[in-house]
Structure 1
């Protein structure tokens, strides 16, 4: 007698990524001492403070750690990617780099990791990432890729990461929960500024995400990207309180030091049309440290050329023809200026 065929249920990224991230978050809470982080309850929500220091009680010195940064990066990705610290290449100037790899690049990087939620409530502002964005479902890109949630009731938790040096208040927590269509008790948030160790790791883990977002902006069908790897140098954190410096260094690690490889199930003609356009050096704003570029635009992200936000080097591998396209290059000089290093 033949066996009955296996029935494969439809896979909902918003459910799976939030569930996976929720499990990781719970483990991080139980390991907060090792992660040098504080667990805080605000308005019913559970927060893991890995760098803001707003509520530091028992640990001397800055909050956060390298391991906490890896955890935050995985939370952003819905725990659907590997993130680790590895030896950097010589042209990256530093000794450590953040390596990411995933076989669910669209869901993990664009559905989860992309910082597409500029969270603004009263005087509080933070860039919000993580799979909770799919529950909110207001971003045009999520709708275009079919990544907005269709079944909020089945969610046990909503998980996100905030890039900020201040903890949110109860009003902010209530607003996030309402936007995600859940109760505050089901909200799980991790927080760290870009000037912290953990925040630096979390931001620099976005190499694949930036390549995918650039491809999407170039009207390439990103659902054809099957797998991806990325590596970017881990910069020295900017001094506490220097938010612009922190944003500058982490962005420069990507724009001038990151290398991404994507495996693509697409015809050669469609890859030919975009491959040379993906790296950051195709932007008119390329060539200066990001903090300087940012200042020129009065610190308004939306005035910076959107084509700038991509890795320094992008390699596209065709799974159909076996051809490989490698474009762009690392920029050691700009990295040295940005990182404040003598070379």
Structure 2
């Protein structure tokens, strides 16, 4: 069976073989690692965003661009479907690796996280990979320094020629797409935080609008978060008691937060610190849970097109 990293390497093969078809730039770093620029010097594009998102999932999910006609400012959305939620979402796509070395900082996602497995989360999910290949996705404005690459190599244990780093800033086409493609992961993470066991969650599907590219990364953080918080829908499949779902479901959507109802950039300006925003806000606007045990379905939350339109206009 192929590892998540091997599957992700297969996903990004078109970017490496034909970068001009995807508006990306591929280069070899001094260390010998491969860097795929999806939005810093290169412009990137829709197809690159889809492949970046699939790589984040470790090649374990479907990602499609479709229509989103309900909001002024965008007509496109990303749809995601995942069967193996723990492996694809929590061990791979979740941006849990804070890469902070020297003056460089980036949030790392993708299956290289499962090689390092240094986050507290991995003690619970029990998924640590062994692979000669590492694929890491960075949300950042600057290329990683040589010091950063050596740090990544040390943590993943692969040779430089087998390290592949995809990078895109938030304010880019690929940035907008890959963040909206986290819609299912956002739901599963919130469910885990409020008490759902990861072993009870088998998979899910979801969709979120694609934010128009903002003028700077801070504005883009606002728009892309709002796409999930006010325009995102997730359907999650579980196996547990109906009573537990009924007890928890109203706490899942973003509307459960005291900070709900304002654009993300408004909240950021008020608090001055990303980590002071109510963590309950980081959730899809709508959630539906399908229970395999009872064959029942439960829903909570609603879309908020007014806030989303306001966000895109700011």
With normalisation by structure 1, the TM-score equals 0.88
Task: Give the structure 1 partner of residue 231 of structure 2.
Answer: 257
Residue of structure 2 equivalent to 1:318: 291
Aligned pairs, number: 313
Structure 1 residue runs of 4+, over 3 Å off?
none
**Aligned 8 A contact 2:135 2:163 in 1:** yes
> Aligned Cα RMSD in Å?
1.5
1:302 and 1:140 mapped to 2: Cα distance? 18
Residue in 2 that maps onto 1:156 = 132
Match of 2:4 among 10, 17, 24: 17
Give unpaired runs (5+ residues) of structure 1. Answer: 1-10, 54-61
Deviations 1:76-121 (A, max 9, x none): 0001000010111425762110000011122111111011012111
CA contact (8 A) 1:25 1:188 kept: no
1:140-219 correspondence runs (5 A): 140-149=120-129, 152=130, 155-219=131-195
Structure 2 CA distance for aligned equivalents of residues 324 and 91 of structure 1 = 27
Corresponding residue to 2:88 among 92, 108, 121: 108
Q: Could you report, residue by residue, the CA deviation over 1:231-284 in whole angstroms, capped at 9, with x for unpaired residues?
A: 001110102xx1110111100000000000011111212212211111011011
Quote the Cα distance in structure 2 between the aligned partners of 1:140 and 1:297: 27
- Aligned partner of 1:305 in structure 2 is 278
1:23 positional shift: 1.5
Counterpart Cα distance in 2 of 1:145 and 1:304? 27
CA distance in 1, matches of 2:73, 2:25: 32
The more displaced of 177-186 and 272-281 is 177-186
1:233 and 2:220 equivalent?
A: no
1:222 maps to which residue? 198
Counterpart for residue 95 of structure 1: 75
| Distance in 2, Cα, partners of 1:136 & 1:126 | 16
Contact 1:91 1:330 (C-alpha < 8 Å) held by counterparts: no
Larger Rg: 1
* Runs of 5+ consecutive residues of structure 2 not aligned to the other structure: none
CA distance in structure 1 between the partners assigned to 2:249 and 2:198 by the alignment:
13
SS in 1 for 2:126: coil
Q: CA deviation at 1:297?
A: 2.5
